[in-house]
């Protein structure tokens, strides 16, 4: 069967997966809440004593989002892990660059890089929401199950 190139085909309508969106957005918001709590618990101090909460600021949202993504779409496990790792890994670089452009290194050091940490949280909200919407608009990949041998034998006859 050949396809007629002159015939126009309308693009398939995308279906919005509310369940996936709700789980992933919920996980993102939970991660943002945990990151915000940890940042506020430092009270603006920067020392070895507050290192763990500051690590949670950077790690919480990608971690929670990855868990939510896997819960929503188990078949996308490796995609979720890879994308959330990149999300976690590159956000500090982007936030540091934004901080250096907006307030400068001198002012950033004086404030204990508070702007940087809040920029990380804002970036997490934006990217986490974007990833949630992206996955909710795309169907999960379909696993192709091998056909039983009896069906294959009958098809060859």
How much of the chain, in percent, has pLDDT values that exceed 70? 80
How many other C-beta atoms lie within 10 A of the C-beta of residue 107? 12
Determine the average pLDDT of the residues in 125-135: 96
For 15, list phi and psi in degrees, rounded to 5: -100, 130
Does residue 136 or residue 47 have the better pLDDT? 136
Whether 104 has a pLDDT exceeding 70, the answer reads yes
Range with lowest mean pLDDT among 34-38, 66-70, 150-154: 150-154
Q: Model-level pTM greater than 0.85?
A: no
CB-based burial of residue 136 (10 Å sphere; 0-12 exposed, 13-18 middle, 19+ buried)?
buried
pLDDT for res 33: 97
């Amino acid at each position: 069967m050949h396809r007629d190139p002159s015939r126009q085909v309308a693009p398939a309508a995308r279906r919005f997966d509310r369940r996936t969106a709700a789980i992933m957005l919920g996980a993102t918001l939970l991660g943002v809440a945990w990151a915000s709590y940890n940042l506020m618990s430092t009270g603006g101090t920067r020392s070895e004593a507050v290192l763990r909460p500051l690590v949670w600021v950077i790690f919480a949202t990608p971690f929670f989002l990855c868990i939510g993504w896997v819960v929503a779409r188990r078949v996308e496990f490796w995609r979720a892990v890879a994308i959330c790792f990149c999300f976690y890994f590159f956000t500090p670089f982007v936030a540091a660059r934004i901080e250096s452009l907006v307030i400068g290194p001198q002012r950033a050091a004086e404030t204990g890089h508070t702007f940087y940490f809040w920029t990380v949280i804002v970036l997490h909200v934006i990217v986490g929401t974007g990833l949630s919407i992206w996955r909710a608009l795309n169907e999960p990949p379909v696993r192709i199950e091998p056909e039983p041998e009896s069906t294959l034998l009958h098809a060859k006859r």
